[in-house]
């Protein structure tokens, strides 16, 4: 059984909100000053402390003034797509006439600015390649571009290796020597900051005046920044909360890209009531589906188009891709579950688990690894065939295990074992020779054992404790919804409680709809638990349960009611 841990609330903190519940929630998330909750744009960290940003801005302003051809090379996830769209839109708004983009097809070229992608890019005759959400590890690719006389500007947020590419400039808050106070910018956030610097340089040079170009208001692009930031699950520190809050506000008022509106529409969600949850679990999966199953260029086009018919058409296509992705994922999950069961290690699973199946789809490996990680409470790497000689893996980690550092350690101690790797603390990718999977799996498990306790491997659920009876109503759900944005390291409030189960039924084949009665107040309430185990639920023998839940505003037939979204049923009888 998973262990429930109630978040600690530090004492002697000045009131953070007039509502006692919100004070408690904010304090438990590390807020110590009410000023930290002010998400006005004037509180954004200045761009000047980002290492390399002056050189990068100079490089781009020269390209704009000389009307060079700038080619944006992006990544194939939502952060990469929003970063690419942001770079395209801002550079055009600055007056650059020739700017294009290239998203490597993950199945043909893999991730980043590889020498192979440079060869493809060279056919377009760019003067400058600008990477977004990638490039910090592209030593060979940048070297190849330099040989061809193509300058490379890198913008990235992934962790740097021991050797940096020989680019004309690198902007990455996570590179050595960078003094930017926040290390949590997503790739799209890095691009946004660079474009602030470029606009300032152009303004100081009188560019907008001499060219008779209206100086762009950078706030118009914050819808893209907010979407990419939430989708990449970077830590929502204060700076990122400002970016996300301002982007959400623009979307709610309709001041956003047509592609984003269309994705809300095909998902049957109202963009006027957009939340960070919608970004992470509604919009981003549909956009990601393009990069997972086909080509993220379609997703970027959807974010760029000003044609409502085209935006709607692309959104429908992405929605269909996402439906296909779900089917593939479900099949892979069934296979993975059988694979783990067949290992006969239920009582002795390795601390770090590697799973491989020849037929698995590369584009869905990350999701599969994430599902298994959540189920087994340990880092998981899911592998699929890359070619007849190599396999590719996608890793997802847990708290206290920095997966990129784990790979660094393994690579340093076992030269040649890992062909390529890169990533973040919580997610990373790697390539191995087929014959190296078994020795790697053993080394990986031993390395993970150094970082996890037995308690960690049973799973921990962090909650905000029991919700006081006086707050158990719709107004509280509305209050919490407005109190965000919620996300990584600033998680949406979750509570625990004991309830009588007065009604159970299965909906959509895998979701459990429960009618609950609060054991203390007697209040009846509807709830839903997604992706339950159908071998256990529904079951009328269970008459009460302890659950972990979050409050939700359910809207149906113009009626708004309180609903519980159940995260875990931790005890039932």
SS3 542: coil
pLDDT level of residue 344 (50, 70, 90 thresholds): low
Greater model confidence, 255 or 112: 255
**Residues 143 and 47 placed together within one structural domain of the fold:** yes
Last residue of a domain, one of 409, 435, 458: 458
**Residues 72 and 145 placed together within one structural domain of the fold:** yes
Range scoring the smallest mean pLDDT among 199-213, 311-325, 348-362:
348-362
* Residue owning tokens 């609950």: 516
Compute the mean pLDDT over every residue in the chain, rounded to the nearest whole number.
Answer: 92
Identify whether 196 is part of a domain. Answer: yes
DSSP letter, residue 77: S
pTM of the model: 0.90
* Residue owning tokens 């390209």: 63
Which residue, 353, 380, 350, 385, is CA-closest to 368?
380
Helix 258-266 crosses helix 308-342 at what angle (to 10 degrees)?
60
Identify whether 338 is part of a domain. Answer: no
pLDDT level of residue 167 (50, 70, 90 thresholds): very high
Identify whether 336 is part of a domain. Answer: no
**Residues 74 and 17 placed together within one structural domain of the fold:** no
pLDDT level of residue 106 (50, 70, 90 thresholds): confident
Rounded average pLDDT over 214-226:
97
Per the structure, the complete domain to which residue 27 belongs is given by 7-36
pLDDT level of residue 292 (50, 70, 90 thresholds): confident
* Residue owning tokens 């909906």: 507
**Residues 52 and 29 placed together within one structural domain of the fold:** no
Q: What is the CATH number of the domain that holds 522?
A: 2.40.50.460
pLDDT at 247: 97
Q: What's the pLDDT tens digit per position in 486-521?
A: 999 999 999 999 999 999 998 887 899 999 998 888
**Residues 176 and 85 placed together within one structural domain of the fold:** yes
Q: Give yes or no for a contact between 563 and 525, defined as CB atoms under 8 angstroms apart.
A: yes
Helices (H), 138-283: 139-147, 187-204, 207-210, 222-231, 238-252, 258-266, 276-278
Query: Is the per-residue pLDDT at 552 higher than 80?
Result: yes
Query: Which residues, in sequence order, are bridge partners of residue 524?
Result: 517
Q: What's the pLDDT tens digit per position in 363-378?
A: 889 888 988 898 888 9
SS3 277: helix
Query: Is the per-residue pLDDT at 216 higher than 90?
Result: yes
**Residues 482 and 420 placed together within one structural domain of the fold:** no
Number of domains into which the chain is organized: 4
Last residue of a domain, one of 317, 334, 364: 317
d(CA 63, CA 153): 11
Task: Report phi then psi at 372, rounded to 5.
Answer: -65, -40
Identify whether 431 is part of a domain. Answer: yes
Q: What is the CATH number of the domain that holds 198?
A: 3.90.1640.30
Query: Is the per-residue pLDDT at 347 higher than 70?
Result: no
d(CA 244, CA 258): 18
**Residues 19 and 51 placed together within one structural domain of the fold:** no
Query: Is the per-residue pLDDT at 346 higher than 60?
Result: no
**Residues 192 and 248 placed together within one structural domain of the fold:** yes
**Residues 551 and 432 placed together within one structural domain of the fold:** no
Burial class (CB in 10 A: 0-12, 13-18, 19+), 491: middle
Greater model confidence, 544 or 347: 544
Range scoring the smallest mean pLDDT among 479-483, 493-497, 531-535:
531-535
Highest mean pLDDT among 77-91, 336-350, 461-475: 77-91
Vertex 387, ends 382 and 388: CA angle to 5°?
110
d(CA 7, CA 465): 8
Identify whether 436 is part of a domain. Answer: yes
**Residues 391 and 418 placed together within one structural domain of the fold:** yes
- DSSP sequence for 145-176: HHHTT-EEEEE--SPP-SS----SEEE-TTST
Last residue of a domain, one of 250, 283, 317: 317
pLDDT at 367: 87
Identify whether 114 is part of a domain. Answer: yes
Helix (H) / strand (E) element for 54: namely helix 53-65
Identify whether 323 is part of a domain. Answer: no
pLDDT at 284: 93
């Amino acid at each position: 059984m998973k262990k429930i841990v109630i978040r600690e609330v530090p004492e002697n903190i000045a009131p953070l909100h007039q509502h006692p519940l919100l004070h408690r929630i904010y304090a438990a998330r590390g807020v110590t000053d009410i000023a930290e909750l002010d998400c006005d744009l004037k509180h954004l960290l200045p761009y000047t402390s980002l290492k390399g940003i002056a050189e990068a801005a100079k490089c781009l302003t020269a390209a704009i003034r000389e009307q060079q051809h700038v080619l944006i090379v992006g990544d194939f996830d939502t952060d990469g797509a929003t970063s690419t769209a942001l770079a395209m839109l801002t550079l055009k708004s600055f007056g650059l006439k020739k700017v294009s983009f290239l998203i490597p097809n993950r199945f043909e070229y893999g991730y980043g600015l590889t020498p192979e992608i440079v060869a493809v890019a060279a056919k377009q005759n760019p003067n400058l390649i600008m990477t977004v959400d990638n490039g910090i590890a592209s030593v060979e690719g940048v070297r190849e571009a330099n040989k061809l006389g193509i300058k490379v500007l890198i913008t990235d947020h992934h962790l740097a290796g021991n050797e940096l590419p020989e680019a004309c400039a690198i902007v990455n808050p996570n590179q050595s020597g960078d003094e930017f106070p926040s290390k949590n910018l997503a790739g799209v956030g890095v691009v946004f900051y660079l474009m602030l610097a470029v606009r300032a340089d152009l303004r100081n040079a009188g560019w907008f005046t001499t060219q008779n170009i209206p100086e762009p208001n950078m706030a118009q692009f914050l819808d893209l920044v907010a979407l990419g930031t939430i989708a990449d699950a970077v830590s929502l520190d204060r700076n990122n909360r400002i970016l996300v809050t301002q982007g959400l506000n623009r979307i709610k008022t309709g001041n956003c890209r047509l592609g984003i509106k269309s994705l809300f529409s095909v998902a049957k969600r109202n963009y006027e009531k957009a939340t960070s949850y919608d970004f992470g679990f509604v919009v981003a999966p549909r956009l990601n589906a393009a990069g997972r199953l086909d080509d993220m260029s379609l997703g970027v086009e959807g974010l760029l188009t000003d044609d409502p018919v085209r935006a709607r058409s692309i959104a429908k296509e992405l929605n269909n891709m996402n439906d296909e992705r779900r089917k593939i994922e479900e099949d892979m999950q069934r296979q993975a579950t059988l694979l783990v069961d067949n290992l006969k290690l239920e009582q002795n699973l390795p601390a770090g688990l590697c799973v491989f199946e020849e037929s698995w789809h590369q584009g869905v490996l990350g999701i599969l690894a994430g599902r298994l990680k959540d189920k087994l409470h340990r880092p998981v790497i899911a592998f699929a065939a890359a070619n007849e000689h190599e396999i590719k893996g996608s890793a997802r980690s847990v708290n206290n295990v920095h997966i990129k550092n784990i790979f660094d350690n393994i690579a340093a101690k076992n030269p040649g074992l890992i062909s390529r790797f890169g990533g973040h603390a919580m997610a990373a990718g790697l390539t191995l020779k087929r014959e190296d999977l078994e020795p790697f799996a053993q080394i990986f498990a031993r390395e993970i054992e150094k970082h996890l306790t037995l308690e960690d491997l049973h799973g921990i659920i962090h909650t905000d404790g029991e919700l006081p009876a006086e707050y158990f109503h719709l107004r509280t759900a509305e209050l919490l919804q407005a109190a965000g944005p919620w996300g990584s390291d600033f998680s949406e409030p979750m509570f625990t409680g004991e309830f009588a189960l007065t009604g159970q039924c299965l909906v959509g084949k895998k979701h459990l709809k429960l009618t609950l009665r609060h054991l203390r107040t007697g209040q009846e309430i509807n709830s839903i638990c997604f992706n339950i185990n159908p071998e256990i639920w529904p079951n009328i023998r269970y008459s009460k349960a302890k659950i972990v839940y979050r409050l939700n505003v359910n809207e149906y037939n113009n009626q708004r009611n309180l609903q519980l979204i159940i995260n875990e049923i931790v005890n039932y009888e």
